[in-house]
Structure 1
Amino acid sequence: MFSDREHVDFLNGGSVLAAVRRRLGELGFRDELEPAADGVDAVLHLTSGGGASRSYGVQVKQRLTAELATAVHIPPAYPALVVAPSISDPAADRLRARGIDYVDTAGNARLAWDDVLIDIRGRRKPTVPLARTAPRGSRAFGKAGLKVAFVLLSWPEMASLTLRELAAASGVSLGTAQMVVDELTAGGYLYESAGGRRLARGGELLNRWSEAYSIALGPSLALGEFSAGDLSWWPDSEHELRTAGALVGGEAAASLIDPHLRPSSLTLYVEETPLSLIGRHRLVRAEEDGNVHLRRRFWQVPEETAWSVPSTLVYADLLASGDPRQREHGDRIRTSDDRLTRLDRT
């Protein structure tokens, strides 16, 4: 979300959205824009030359890959409109498949409602860079800041910890913990109460965190890709995995939340490469994507009863996979998992 001054810039020009609004005008649309919260950057009211109208919840993306297009959250109040400097064909295909309309600054667009159907493809990205505005809390969504936000989302009661305790749980410096708390407080995601800090707008924060995770933090966690001819062993290996210091993530962990899911891969979060597991189950290092993904555990909060990662990370992994099937799994557990539904109620 934007500060008051940034909203003035956002509405009046010098932004990706300003360029997109000019493109919409060239297509014969009249528009009215108003700032908004609750998971969208603005509400855009569009009216076609024929009088058909629709109000969109706008999501401004400075970068949009096919994987991120899979992870775009659809707000409940309005249909989503994604705007970006450039939307590639693969990203556009993902958005169309999900029924999400979009426009980029080159004029590529898909808008469909009532008698309106706009489908423009193949226009090249502008060569002149656009002015950018920095959303409030942008440092909190960098690699280190995301670790702190993950702890707050996964264990909201830890918001009341001292900064030193929060830093230790997140595996970051005290200064980073202070910066993240300050920025999330300024952004309305944390507030002070008689009992200490509390988390607010948890569902919106989860949306922002899971998208930023796929860009800034997730890729840096990779320890190795392996291939296994047989993955049937892992559901009965809780003790073995615990002994190896491995926590189940990704779609395998999602299947523990929803037993109807049938995972085709296994993601393990570990503090070091589990050589015993690799040898015992004949995991072979894969040059490209394998079906066993090893990732570094980045938090220091023990859950004695859990052998899978928190569902906040399961959800983010599913969205970051870029696989529409896993995205559907993510949407399903978002509405069925207690931890995630509590966040959406904050």
Structure 2
Amino acid sequence: MALSDHRSVAEQQTLALACEAFSESTRLYRAAPVAAPRKRGSQGDAGTDAWIRFSIAGKHFDMPVSLKTGPGSPGASLIVSRMLTRRADNDTRPLMLVTEHVSTRLADILIDNGIPFLDTAGNAYLQEPEATVMIVGRSKPALSRMDSSSRSTTPKGLRVTFAILTQPGLVYAPYRVIADQSGVALNTVNVAIDDLLDRGLVVQKSGRRLIADRRRLIEEWVSLFAVRLRPKLSPRRFTSMSKDPKWWSEAGLRDPDIRLGGETGADVLTHELKPASLTFYSHEGITRQLVAKGMLRPDESGAVEVLDAFWPVDAENGWHLSHRGVVHPLLVYADLIASADDRNRAVAQTIYERYLTEERA
């Protein structure tokens, strides 16, 4: 998979921050990155960098997104020209500009041209059959708006969220049990769960904790995993010299410390994707068996990526999955979404519908 097929870390962060800012500025409405709708074709999505699902007054709809990051913003006329040029002709939804900040002047021009937008300050404009939202004039945000005190969104807090999303019933277990299954300290669980409670993602009902909005929690975790936790997992890249195209499979690799993620995991779970890149999560770093079987050579642009597993091995017993050599489908889904590869999006949606819509007891 070519490097150009991936959203940069800056783009992923802008997307996540803008969605969070929309939720904060509107108070009652939600926005979150999602996989491309299955019905979209690769040609129709030629100008689309990402997709955002809006939840407004009980209505849900997806908008295609064009991402603009980094300093040196082009002039307003050039932005409008680019947005109108990139708009998909066969799509009923206009392309939405998502960027760090939309000034009042630029907002006026975009609105006059019918171009929806969203920024990391919480400014937004969209006019769709389901809803109309217009927020302008909010000041340019600091470099990072994500509240560092939101302990469920720190790298360790994301481990806690991963654990309660992947192990049915864990959310109402004692904090000590959650800590053991997350691989974090007891105090980390305490502040992370308290934060989820404060933000309404977890609720207390009849004396026990429950996940209030599973889809929203999944979408938040997926959007933050790519920019906050994944970079902490010591990602390393290699090129495989093996002539066996299936050397990486569960049957071929037979390494008890390695789990398949990304496109490799998706292939095992769905049989709908021929992997162009290989992603492994390892409980023991770069194992000799992995290097020998794949005939791996270090290569910064290689198609083989190895990351540290961030969950305890024992936690896998709570996943209740038949494929023990594959990471949890939530992580496969997150890897596919982070890839921003069009061919991965439909498969990501299949994984979501098959494995993530409800707890698997």
Task: Work out whether the TM-score is over 0.5.
Answer: yes
1:130-149 → structure 2 map (5 Å cutoff)? 130=141, 138-149=150-161
The answer to whether the Cα contact below 8 Å between 1:189 and 1:201 also exists between their aligned partners in 2 is yes
Matched, 1:210 2:228: no
Q: Aligned pair 1:175/2:191, yes or no? A: no
Alpha-carbon offset, residue 221 of structure 1: 0.9
Q: Which residue identity lines up with residue 195 of structure 2 in the other structure? A: E
1:102/1:223 CA distance change after superposition, 3 Å: closer
- Aligned equivalents of 1:186 and 1:109: distance in 2? 33
* Structure with higher RCO (Cα < 8 A, 6+ apart): 2
Quote the offset at 1:87 in angstroms.
6.5
- Partners of 1:217 and 1:262 in 2: how far apart? 26
Instruction: Please give the root-mean-square deviation of Cα atoms over the aligned residues, in Å.
Output: 4.1
Q: 1:118 to 1:190 in 2, by over 3 A?
A: closer
Residue 341 (structure 1) aligns with: 357
Q: Which residue of 2 aligns with 1:327?
A: 345
What CA distance in whole angstroms lies between the structure 2 residues aligned with 1:308 and 1:277? 15
> Closer, same or farther in 2 for the Cα pair 1:322/1:79, shift >3 Å?
closer
Stretch deviating more after TM superposition (230-239 or 166-175): 230-239
Distance 1:85 1:233, change over 3 A: closer
Q: Is the 8 A contact 2:261 2:335 kept in 1?
A: yes
Matched with 2:199 is: 187
Listed one character per residue, the Cα deviations across residues 257-296 of structure 1 (whole Å, up to 9, x for unaligned) are 221211112111111221122113311111x221111111
Percent identity, aligned pairs only, is 26
Sort the Cα spacing of 1:100 and 1:164 in 2 relative to 1 into closer, same or farther, 3 A.
Answer: farther
Name the SS of the counterpart of 1:188 in structure 2: coil
Unaligned runs of 5+ in 1: 1-14, 21-32, 42-68, 121-127
Letter of the structure 2 residue corresponding to residue 298 of structure 1: F
> CA contact under 8 A between 2:51 and 2:64: conserved in structure 1?
no
Aligned: 1:284 with 2:263: no
- Aligned counterpart in structure 1 of residue 54 of structure 2, from 75, 78, 82: 75
Change (3 A) 1:295 1:196: same
| Residues in 1 aligned to 2:287 and 2:109: alpha-carbon distance in whole angstroms | 49
Q: Map of 1:64-103 to 2, 5 A cutoff?
A: 70=49, 72-75=51-54, 77-80=60-63, 86=69, 100-102=95-97
1:149 is paired with a residue of what secondary structure? helix
How much does 1:140 deviate?
1.0
Q: Which runs of 5+ in 2 are unaligned?
A: 1-16, 34-47, 74-81, 118-138
Moved more, 203-212 or 187-196: 187-196
Residue 234 of structure 2 is aligned to residue 222 of structure 1: yes
2:330 match: secondary structure: helix
Give the match for residue 50 of structure 1: none
CA apart distance, 1:202: 0.7
**Structure 1 residues 247-326: aligned runs within 5 Å:** 247-272=259-284, 273-286=286-299, 288-300=300-312, 301-303=315-317, 305=322, 306-326=324-344
The CA deviation string for residues 129-180 of structure 1, in whole angstroms up to 9 with x for no partner, is 5368656973211111000001111113111221111111111111110011
**Residues 170 and 78 (structure 1 numbering): CA distance in 2 closer, same or farther, change over 3 Å?**
same
Deviation at 1:82, TM superposition (A): 7.0
Instruction: Give, as a single letter, the amino acid of the residue that structure 1 aligns with 2:28.
Output: A
Q: Judge conservation of contact 1:137–1:187 (CA < 8 Å) in 2.
A: no
| Conserved 8 A contact 1:103-1:109 | no
Q: CA deviation at 1:326?
A: 2.4
Given that residues 153 and 206 in structure 1 are in contact (C-alpha distance below 8 angstroms), is that contact kept between their aligned partners in structure 2? yes
Q: Distance in 2 between matches of 1:313 and 1:144?
A: 16
Per the alignment, residue 79 of structure 2 pairs with none
Deviations 1:21-74 (A, max 9, x none): xxxxxxxxxxxx854235469xxxxxxxxxxxxxxxxxxxxxxxxxxx955532
In 1, Cα distance between equivalents of 2:149 and 2:343: 31
Partner of 1:342, secondary structure, is coil
Q: Is the 8 A contact 2:237 2:305 kept in 1?
A: yes
CA–CA distance in structure 2, aligned partners of residues 110 and 255 of structure 1? 46
Residue 45 of structure 2 corresponds to which residue in structure 1?
Answer: none
Identify the residue that residue 36 of structure 1 maps to in structure 2.
28
Correspondent of 2:178 among 128, 147, 166: 166
Name the CA distance, whole Å, in 2 between partners of 1:118 and 1:281: 48
Inter-partner Cα distance in structure 2 for 1:100 and 1:175: 43
CA distance in 1, matches of 2:50, 2:190: 29
TM-score under structure 2 length normalisation: 0.63
Structure 2 residue matching 1:262: 3-state secondary structure:
coil
Report what 2:44 is aligned to: none
Equivalence for 2:246: 233
Match of 1:27 in 2: none
